[in-house]
């Protein structure tokens, strides 16, 4: 059965789908059916007789790639699994593996994640004795992040430090020595970090013309999604793979470029037409996602920023409510307000159609506390990655010891799990293994084993596993048998959470056929096939970066205040401010029907232990007030300055507060941060007492339903 493309697509989409020859640039505004276009194009190509394996689809996340392959598979009523795809990093990894010996890796190479890189740098640093006992010497992860930034932007480390961290230039010499040492150490141990994958890939294609020819002959059709977020190497790789005249389509939206911090170059998309002469430019401007009132607001944000490509989004959905502006008194009451809004929305939409978005992962903490209290299930995206949790890394290291026996970091980590083995012994043993061909017998190992039975068991286990490279789940399970007691000993505080993490890992492993593919995916992607199908009954919490490309019926954005959104750092740099604004644009354009903007009046500050009053985000202040409606609050909130009266608190007996209550039944008080100078009547319950003058309280009264968890500080 042929697909009726004309009927399913608008003219611009149709043009993009059928323009299969030569370079094509698609400027796809938010919600303009970008994914749909790519999906139909994949189907169209296959229908035209292009074998799926000759199509290369480069996307930002594996999740996005899978989604597109599945959907086009449904369209064609056949398996699309053979389309090659993934991230630039993932694709590079596969190709580099294939040619690793040509590149001089006799034993292959291993890929490091951020934590591994820190470990390597830590070793280098202590060997070189740099920055010891100097409290103001930057942390390893800080140094690594600047090193990575330098490589992504293709500047020298010195230039980056001068631009972004002038205060660190006093350590310049030491930092440069560390950079050199890190480089050598990676070489010595055959390790590649994420950035190396891309640069080495480029080297492979440039220095080995036959490889380039091979790649070009295999991938006759190339598509790159989210092109506005590619960096310089990625653009060069695109050109290398497709060649200037090749069949390449890139899709992107310069208004949604939000990875500048990682070296993304909006220039790539702006200059595509000159890099690929004769490129066709197609614009998708009709918005199918949001209602007109939501679109009016996002267009207003758009008009506040310098646009390069002209865009004028219009919606097919005229009806709908204006976005809502909600101003809770504090971040605690914001959490309560979000909860009640979610309760209201959940009458209309399933929970997984509602998303709460934020600038940084930790902004969601107070909300998470409240959600847990109310036992509302949620799923969080962004922030700490699953595969970076210590216990997951432990297990993966044990597995890598078998699959990548030359992987020093895996051995070091794996061996260090055993009692009595630390960094030094681990290194000594690793060397013994290298000499013995990894699993052979040697005197040294036997001698050590006689003192350490745990070690012998591990070795036996690993020797067995070597024979079963094709059952990741079974492999994992037997590793887990060994690891579980160690885990229980090591992390006895939050054991349940970690155990469930391991169960999740087991499910992920079950989805793979080969152990090495499983391991590679775990390092390279936020590969969560389990979490990918958003759980039906869960509210979605996500960083805006992780929300890219997704959409929900209702979107709530929290913490729209200065220093958080935009982040404090960004306020100093005009360029970064632009990126923050695009970030807000991305966030708002995720919404189909309801858009809620939450602007708390104060934020709890860990350092001081107080709530600090904050100004609304400048992006909110410059919005035309006609574009949103103010939330009709149910009366004054407690911590508003206007309240007046006295409060009598119900103290639980036996607490320090009881004494306090006895001595003064009616207390003059200010809520945390000293916002409120007036006295207020009400009823409350102490949740947590921090005598003599600070109490965490649940309030009830005065039209306030509940403000839980607000701090009170009693004046003397």
**Of 600-629, which residues contact DNA (CB under 7 A)?**
606-607
Mask for 555-584, x = binds DNA (CB under 7 A): ------------x-xx-----x--------
d(CA 326, CA 336): 12
SS3 content of the chain, % helix, strand, coil (to 5): 50, 15, 30
Residue 122 Cβ, how far from DNA at the closest point, in Å?
A: 5
**Contact call for residues 42 and 50 (beta carbons, < 8 A):** no
Residue 261 Cβ, how far from DNA at the closest point, in Å?
A: 4
Stretch that binds DNA, among 153-161, 381-389, 453-461, 464-472 (CB under 7 A): 381-389
Q: Which of 11, 81, 277, 420 binds DNA (CB under 7 A)?
A: 420
Q: Between 95 and 258, whose beta carbon lies closer to DNA?
A: 258
566: preceding bond cis by omega (within 30 degrees): yes
Does residue 397 interact with DNA by CB under 7 A? no
Q: Between 72 and 526, whose beta carbon lies closer to DNA?
A: 526
Q: Between 121 and 282, whose beta carbon lies closer to DNA?
A: 121
Stretch that binds DNA, among 95-103, 169-177, 255-263, 314-322 (CB under 7 A): 255-263
| 204 membership: H or E segment, kind and range | helix 194-207
Mask for 81-110, x = binds DNA (CB under 7 A): ------xxxx--------------------
Q: Which of 425, 436, 613, 641 binds DNA (CB under 7 A)?
A: 425
DSSP string, 606-669: TTTTEEEE-PBPHHHHTS-GGGSEE---SS--TTSTT--S--EEEPPTTSHHHHHHHH-SS--E
Residue 15 Cβ, how far from DNA at the closest point, in Å?
A: 30
Stretch that binds DNA, among 8-16, 246-254, 463-471, 522-530 (CB under 7 A): 522-530
Q: Which of 78, 122, 629, 665 binds DNA (CB under 7 A)?
A: 122
**Contact call for residues 24 and 16 (beta carbons, < 8 A):** yes
Q: Tell me the CA end-to-end span of the chain in Å, nearest whole number.
A: 81
Stretch that binds DNA, among 26-34, 440-448, 524-532, 658-666 (CB under 7 A): 524-532
Q: Which of 105, 214, 261, 349 binds DNA (CB under 7 A)?
A: 261
Return the closest-CA partner of residue 98 out of 188, 218, 187. Answer: 218
Does residue 32 interact with DNA by CB under 7 A? no
Does residue 524 interact with DNA by CB under 7 A? yes
Please calculate the CA angle 278-280-285 and round it to the nearest 5 degrees: 155
Distances (CA, A) of 229 to 27, 60, 579, 627: 13, 9, 12, 30
Q: Which of 50, 94, 114, 459 binds DNA (CB under 7 A)?
A: 114
Does residue 257 interact with DNA by CB under 7 A? no
Q: Which of 385, 466, 679, 705 binds DNA (CB under 7 A)?
A: 385
Q: Between 524 and 661, whose beta carbon lies closer to DNA?
A: 524
Count of positions on this chain that bind DNA (CB under 7 A) = 57
Does residue 298 interact with DNA by CB under 7 A? no
Does residue 132 interact with DNA by CB under 7 A? yes
Residue 84 Cβ, how far from DNA at the closest point, in Å?
A: 15
Does residue 546 interact with DNA by CB under 7 A? yes
Does residue 72 interact with DNA by CB under 7 A? no
Does residue 167 interact with DNA by CB under 7 A? no
Stretch that binds DNA, among 38-46, 420-428, 452-460, 584-592 (CB under 7 A): 420-428
Residue 362 Cβ, how far from DNA at the closest point, in Å?
A: 5
Q: Between 87 and 247, whose beta carbon lies closer to DNA?
A: 87
Q: The tokens of 552 are what? A: 């929900």
Q: Which of 349, 362, 439, 714 binds DNA (CB under 7 A)?
A: 362
Q: The tokens of 315 are what? A: 């919606």
DSSP-assigned beta bridge partners for residue 416: none
Residue 134 Cβ, how far from DNA at the closest point, in Å?
A: 7
DSSP-assigned beta bridge partners for residue 561: 616
504: left (phi over 0), alpha (psi -120 to 50) or beta: alpha
d(CA 664, CA 83): 74
Please calculate the CA angle 262-264-269 and round it to the nearest 5 degrees: 170
**Which residue pairs from 269-275 have beta carbons closer than 8 angstroms and sit at least 24 positions apart in sequence?**
269/25, 269/27, 269/227, 269/228, 270/308, 270/309, 272/23, 272/25, 272/227, 273/25, 275/235, 275/239, 275/244
Residue 627 Cβ, how far from DNA at the closest point, in Å?
A: 25
Distances (CA, A) of 88 to 224, 241, 394, 496: 9, 11, 27, 36
Q: Which residues contact 316 (CB under 8 A, 6 or more apart)?
A: 286, 287, 288
Q: Which residues contact 59 (CB under 8 A, 6 or more apart)?
A: 65, 68, 85, 86, 87, 225, 226
Residue 546 Cβ, how far from DNA at the closest point, in Å?
A: 4
Does residue 142 interact with DNA by CB under 7 A? yes
Q: Which of 7, 129, 135, 662 binds DNA (CB under 7 A)?
A: 135
Q: Which of 422, 609, 626, 645 binds DNA (CB under 7 A)?
A: 422
**Contact call for residues 507 and 546 (beta carbons, < 8 A):** no
d(CA 107, CA 430): 14
Does residue 68 interact with DNA by CB under 7 A? no
Helices and strands of the chain, counted as H and E runs: 30, 24
d(CA 482, CA 454): 9
692: preceding bond cis by omega (within 30 degrees): yes
Positions in the binding site for DNA (CB under 7 A)? 60-61, 87-90, 114-115, 118, 122, 131-133, 135, 139-142, 145, 148, 194-195, 258-259, 261-262, 359-362, 365, 382-385, 390, 416, 419-426, 524-526, 543, 545-546, 567, 569-570, 576, 606-607
């Amino acid at each position: 059965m042929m697909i009726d493309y004309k009927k399913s697509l608008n003219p611009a989409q149709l043009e993009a789908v059928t323009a299969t020859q030569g370079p094509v640039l698609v400027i796809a505004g938010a919600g303009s059916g970008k994914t749909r276009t790519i999906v139909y194009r994949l189907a169209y190509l296959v229908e035209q007789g292009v074998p799926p394996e000759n199509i290369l689809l480069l996307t930002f996340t594996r999740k996005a790639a899978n989604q597109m392959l599945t959907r086009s598979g449904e369209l064609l009523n056949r398996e699309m699994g053979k389309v090659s795809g993934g991230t630039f990093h993932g694709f590079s990894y596969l190709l580099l593996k294939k040619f690793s010996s040509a590149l001089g890796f006799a034993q292959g190479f291993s890929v490091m994640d951020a934590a591994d890189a820190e470990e390597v740098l830590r070793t280098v640093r202590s060997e070189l004795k740099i920055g010891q006992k100097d409290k103001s010497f930057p942390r390893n992860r800080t140094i690594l992040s600047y090193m990575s930034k330098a490589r992504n932007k293709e500047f020298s480390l010195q230039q980056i430090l001068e631009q972004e961290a002038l205060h660190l230039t006093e350590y310049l010499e030491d930092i440069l020595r560390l950079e050199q040492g890190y480089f050598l150490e990676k070489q010595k141990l055959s390790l590649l970090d994420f950035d190396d994958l891309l640069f080495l890939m480029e080297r492979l294609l440039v220095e080995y013309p036959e490889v380039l020819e091979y790649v070009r002959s295999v991938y006759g059709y190339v598509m790159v999604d989210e092109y506005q977020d590619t960096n310089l190497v990625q653009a060069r790789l695109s050109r290398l793979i497709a060649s200037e005249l090749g069949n390449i389509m890139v899709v992107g939206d310069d208004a949604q470029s939000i990875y500048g911090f990682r070296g993304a170059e909006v220039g790539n998309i702006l200059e595509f037409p000159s890099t690929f002469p004769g490129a066709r430019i197609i614009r998708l401007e009709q918005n199918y996602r949001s209602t007109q009132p939501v679109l009016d607001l996002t267009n207003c944000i758009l008009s506040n920023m310098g646009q390069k490509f002209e865009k004028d989004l219009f919606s097919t959905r005229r009806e709908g409510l204006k976005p809502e502006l909600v101003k809770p008194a504090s971040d605690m009451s914001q959490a309560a307000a979000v909860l009640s809004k979610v309760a209201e929305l959940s009458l209309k939409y399933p929970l997984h159609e509602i998303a709460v978005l934020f600038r940084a992962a930790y902004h969601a903490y107070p909300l998470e506390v409240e959600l847990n209290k109310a036992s509302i299930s949620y799923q969080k995206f962004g922030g700490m990655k699953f595969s970076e949790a210590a216990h997951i890394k432990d297990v993966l290291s044990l597995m890598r010891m078998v699959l990548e026996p030359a992987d020093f970091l895996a051995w070091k980590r794996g061996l260090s799990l055993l009692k009595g083995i630390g960094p030094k012994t681990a290194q000594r043993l690793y060397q013994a293994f290298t000499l013995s061909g990894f699993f052979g017998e040697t005197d040294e190992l036997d001698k050590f084993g006689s003192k350490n039975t745990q070690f012998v068991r591990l070795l036996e286990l690993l020797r067995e596993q070597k024979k079963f490279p094709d059952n990741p789940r079974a492999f994992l399970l037997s590793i887990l048998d060994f690891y579980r007691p160690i885990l229980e000993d090591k992390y006895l505080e939050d054991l349940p959470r970690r155990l469930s993490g391991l169960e999740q890992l087991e499910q992920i492993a079950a989805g793979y056929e080969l152990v090495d593919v499983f391991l590679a995916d775990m390092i390279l992607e936020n590969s969560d096939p389990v979490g990918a199908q958003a759980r039906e009954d869960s509210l979605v919490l996500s960083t805006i970066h992780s929300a890219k490309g997704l959409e929900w019926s209702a979107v709530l954005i929290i913490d729209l205040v200065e220093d958080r959104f935009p982040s404090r750092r960004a306020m100093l740099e005009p360029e970064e401010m632009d990126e923050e604004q695009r970030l807000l644009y991305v966030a708002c354009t995720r919404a189909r029907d309801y858009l809620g903007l939450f602007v708390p009046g104060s934020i709890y500050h860990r350092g001081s232990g107080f709530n600090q009053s904050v100004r609304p985000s400048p992006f909110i202040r410059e919005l035309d007030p006609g574009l949103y409606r103010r939330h009709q609050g149910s009366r004054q909130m407690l911590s508003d300055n206007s309240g007046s009266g006295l409060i009598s608190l119900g103290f639980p007996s036996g607490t320090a507060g009881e004494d306090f209550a006895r001595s003064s039944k009616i207390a003059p008080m200010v809520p945390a941060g000293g916002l409120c100078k007036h006295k207020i009547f009400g009823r409350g319950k102490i949740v947590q007492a921090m005598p003599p003058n600070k109490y965490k309280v649940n309030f009830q009264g005065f039209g306030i339903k509940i403000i839980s968890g607000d701090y009170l500080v009693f004046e003397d």
